[in-house]
Structure 1
Amino acid sequence: MLKFDQVLHARLGSLQEASSVWSEAVSKLEKSKDKAETGLKGKAEKADWKGENAGVTQAFVRKTAKEFGDALIGATSIRNILRDAHTEFQAAKSELEKLVAEAPGKGIRIDQDGVVSYLIHPDRRAKDYDGPKPEQADFEATRSAIKAAIDRANNADDVASRALRGLVGTDKNNFSGTRYDSLGAASKAQDAEDAHAAYELYKKGDEATPAEIDRLNALFKANQKDPYFAEKFALEVGPKGSMEYWADMGDPSDGSRLGVDHRDKLKELQTNWSMTLATATHSTSPEMEQWKADVIKAGGEPIQTRGTSPYGFQVMSNLMRVGDYDDKFLKDYGNGLVITERKMTHDGRLPADRAWHAMGGMPSHLNWQGGDLGNDPMIGFMEGLGHNPKASTDFFNGSIDLTPENSKDDKKIDPFDYFTKDREWPEELNDKGDRTKEPGYNALGHALESATTGHPYDADTEGLKDVRTKENAEVMQKVVERYGDDPKYMHKQPGIDDSLGKMGAAYIDELNRSLETDSDTTMEEKKNSPFGYNDDKGKSRFGEEFDTGLLWNRGDAVNFMGIVSQSETGHATLSAAETLYTTSVLDEVGPKPGSTFDERDLTDARTTLRIGSEAQGIMDESRMAQIDKDYEKDSEEHKKAVGRTTEWVKFGVGAAAAGGVVALTGGAGGVLVPLAAETVGGAVTTFIGMEADDMAEKYEKDELLKKKSDDLKDEALAMGKENSLRPGIAYANAPGWSERDRNYLDEMLVDEVRDARLHARDNSLPDPYEKK
């Protein structure tokens, strides 16, 4: 592999000379080919040979003439490979020379090994220093440009050597006739043509006709995942071009009817444009690295239209709601966005809406996806993180240097704390015309889902597996600590409760492992715990410290599950996840259907069912207490809310289980729950196929409203307790058990736990939240 100094100081004269020599060979072979075709072959074709000589000689002459043609093709291909390789090497060398030459003017130094640093470190600058002050984005752009140039040279070296070996061929008596430079060139030419056509339509702005918007959408969709097209379009439009176009589309004052009559077309365009730019950001070409750096630089600059002037970050963030943007770009963009917001709000002394909301005139309409107008750039950025698990995980586990130009002040901010606690999220105008903070917290929840589960928050659950890592778990630890600390964090963040439920469901195995312990504060699991994710050797997927250690203690697990269950959505999601996970543990730790067992073999199974029942009690009691706090007793709203507390039981019916996870259906759709084993057991299969009843089906609406709230609560809690035993019933009825074994399991396992005190401990549950 070539290194920085080898590319920078490469001597390319011999390669250029070789290319020239082969060019001369091509010229000579062209003449020889012409002579062979017009001379040898032509005369042979015209000759009036008879008999055997005609069949042998004419064929030989034709073959010989063809060899001259094949020789010309081979020589031309070799010439093209050498010429293009020289061009690529020269381009890489020139790019490095240019970077080295221009670096001092930017305040950057590049040493002999390609290491990038300050030309004059901020700590050593004179007081009257007025030279260039490079930002972190400049360093990263330079480093990326160096890497791209070296990669370009290495790629040319690899491709050229392989192509030349192929041209030699294995037949010593015949030229290979291999022709290079045809399909690739044609494909790129088509991509370039489409990119330019899209650019011509882009130039029409909001004066484009609906048919032209359709054409632009068609071009985007046809090339949606084509990196060459995406890069060509992004570069041709330019870093600010997309911002200016989208700001113009969002200006309600210029008379365009597109946003009035064709919102669906703009919604589609926003999606396609976002996905195209997302694809383009994965390119590491020097041009795209500069494009990315320039986008971030332009983020703090106003984008002026006729009647609006949103900031670049506000516009660009709305083109990040869809698609998988490059990890590093998302991190750099997010850092730049937070740094800009902190500057505009004087380090948080002013609320965020003072930075991003227009003080006068009509606001820009930058988001056509629905939910909000797109004025808060953090919303679109969070949606971008929600589609990129690695970027979101790194972002929430990292820190942001608010003054990267100053290495001494150590002025950093924790992104997780900032977005979940410290930042006052602005109110946005939703689709109903109401001002609400829900769009922002909803997007934050999506980003946290991605960071904790390792999957995009809206990924199709089919085929997904449990991919949680130590880094994902580190974010989840923060989530449990924050939202389990005080109910206010969830209740004051409308729109985040459904995401908290999904995150809790994704870690229901570890929550159960904590619930089993005898102490609220210990961080060690109960010995030989049947819960949690450990492989056959007892090793945790989250690292050695969690082989027997807990992600959080029992007290934190109770508080988190209790607070999340105060929400109707959170209660339903966690309840469904709990029963499915409990069922899978029974499959794993209980005697296998058809085997011989005695009462002692049911110890782990009893523990599993007991903890599952206790968990359900925590969730049910927390939800009931919150209903009492939210609604007046015996009111219609109170009764209806109580009646809905058992609907979750249907979420597991028909769920899809495979690859160590199960995807919930119904109201909790899109939720992945870890199972205790990769293979789906008989109890889980039985559970998924069981009939489920809830209170909404038991009572007609009028009949339910006639009952007293206390009576409904008692009945709902009793039904919740019975539903928590469904995993045991499913286990006892799994295929393979004899009728005698089924009866025994039902008596010794299910009935024993039913008759015992289901909530084995007096849990100190979090107080319900009083809404003001």
Structure 2
Amino acid sequence: MLTYHEVMSTDLGLLTTAAGKWDDMAGELRKVETRYGDSVQKITMGPDWSGVSVGVAQTSFAATRYEYSAAQIQAKAVESLLRDAHTQFADLKKRLESARDDAIKAGMTVSEQGTVAFDYAKLTPAERSAYHHDPDGQTTSRDAVNKWQQHINDRVKAVSEADHGVKIALGAVVVDSNKDAFGKGNDGTLNGFNADAQGDIEVYEARNAEDIATRINSGDKVSAADYAELDRSFRDNAKSTEFNQTFLNGMGAQNTLKFTNKLNDLAYQDDKTGKQTYLDLEKGLANSLSNAMQDPKSKFYKDFREQLKKAGVEKFDLAVAAEAPNVISRRHGEQQVRGYQSLITLMQSGDGYSAPFLHDLADDIRSAEDKKRGGDPNVWDLQGDFSGKNGG
């Protein structure tokens, strides 16, 4: 967790300076790649070398040139990540500075360490004497101090959370994706440079979030730190279309519905002591869906809606449906729910859904249940009572 002093005293200009150096590096690597291709690699292309050895050399030299190219991609991605980080940090630092200035205008002092206190120095001797004899006034002042302290702490926390996202991105960008390995291209080094390096912090945060959600879905052991990181990712990127679409695209509609069911199973059946953690994640997931499905003209919207049409009528496991004590006429523990039922349950945890999405979703649900549209009027039928605080 960063401190107020660290945020306020750090020279953010060093990020853009470093970004410039990475850009220069990419340019130098380009020169080396060109020289390598025109000299060393060119030897294998001439008529003076034949036989099995030239084939081996061509493969090896092509792999080396590939790494020079991948190194450029990785360097440019790091440059972009550093500039993205600078933009984020500069904006968040301005918000912290604004919070400090507002606190001072409200009659507070803010130390270099970010500690808020009531500014007695601004009081006249008469006001100071009256203040010491006014318990209600002292209580009001303490409340004001606490309010401004929390406000500043929240702004520091926002910078710290953004910093964690940058750390994730910088750690992931240097990992070789091997997208052109295993016969798909010239990549012959499994731990080389990353030819699929991305320059958006949110992309790497989304991929990390997808990994955690996938492990939760699979029933793997997931640490408290991972749950906290997933919650942070949802919260910190609530308004990032890049993050939310990348996350949901990676999960797919089917696994997204499995995930919300898994969170409900954990909250209401398997781990009630951690209920709030899972409900917070469900809220984050719901808001992720809301943000991602804002533009009906986008490719993501169209593709994900088509996935929902299929997954919406599929059957999914959900403990509260399978284990309901008054489920009859079926073997206990077998009843499943439809995807759209899970989706609507999920959406109740979020808000801000676009009108086009709500209209399209309602139309798709009607098609699933309307006999005139080829639907099944009984598609939503469940046995058991699912009303009340938890069962509902």
Identify the TM-score tier after normalising by the shorter chain. Answer: 0.3 to 0.5
| Larger fraction in helix | 2
Larger Rg: 1
Q: TM-score, normalised by structure 1?
A: 0.23
RCO comparison, higher one (Cα < 8 Å, 6+): 2
Q: TM-score, normalised by structure 2?
A: 0.41
